[in-house]
């Protein structure tokens, strides 16, 4: 079955004093947490690799999306990502597609869209409840997992 999912984030990846939650929903759902310490370690590693400061948050966000989606990639018909980094959607899409094309070659560039998800969406509710501790995450992301996609 092909799913049309919505993805939302609670706490931006560049806010390194708190953990980030990414969630998707549509018939299927999943949440991941990127601990604050993992985000800080990833930032340090990317800086040491010479990644430009303005790209670090985008790379971590894209890597988080890929960790979130990797187990369901073949089941996805479209991905709607909440607008978190306005004006940078093309860069995020390109970072995601570098890896998506290997796992899900049928998922086209046009199948990944960015728009406001809104507080009424199930993805927003999942992300918020996980962030607030009312729901356990499905997965806690490690530095190794993030760096695999950075």
Closest CA relative to residue 89, chosen from 113, 70, 54, 118 = 113
For the chain, the C-alpha Rg in angstroms (whole number) is 14
CA distance 133 to 137: 9
**What strands, in cross-sheet order, belong to the sheet with 20-26?**
112-115, 76-82, 3-10, 20-26, 28-34, 139-140
Closest CA relative to residue 96, chosen from 142, 126, 68, 65 = 65
pLDDT of residue 102: 80
Residues of the chain falling short of pLDDT 70: 1
CA distance 63 to 141: 10
pLDDT of residue 42: 98
pLDDT of residue 118: 87
pLDDT of residue 101: 80
Domains of the chain, earliest start first: 3-145 (3.30.420)
């Amino acid at each position: 079955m092909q799913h049309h999912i919505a993805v939302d984030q609670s706490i931006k990846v560049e806010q390194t004093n708190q953990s980030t939650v990414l969630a998707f929903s549509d018939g299927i759902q999943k949440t991941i947490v990127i601990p604050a310490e993992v985000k800080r370690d990833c930032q340090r590693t990317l800086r040491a690799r010479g990644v430009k400061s303005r790209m670090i948050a985008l790379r971590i966000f894209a890597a988080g999306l890929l960790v979130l989606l990797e187990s369901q990639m073949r089941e996805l018909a479209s991905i709607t990502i909440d607008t978190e980094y306005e004006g940078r959607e093309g860069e995020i899409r390109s970072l995601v597609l570098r890896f998506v094309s290997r796992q899900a070659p049928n998922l086209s560039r046009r199948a990944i869209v960015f728009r406001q998800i809104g507080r009424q969406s199930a993805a927003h509710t999942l992300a918020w409840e996980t962030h607030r501790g009312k729901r356990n995450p499905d997965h806690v992301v490690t530095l190794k997992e993030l760096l695999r996609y950075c």
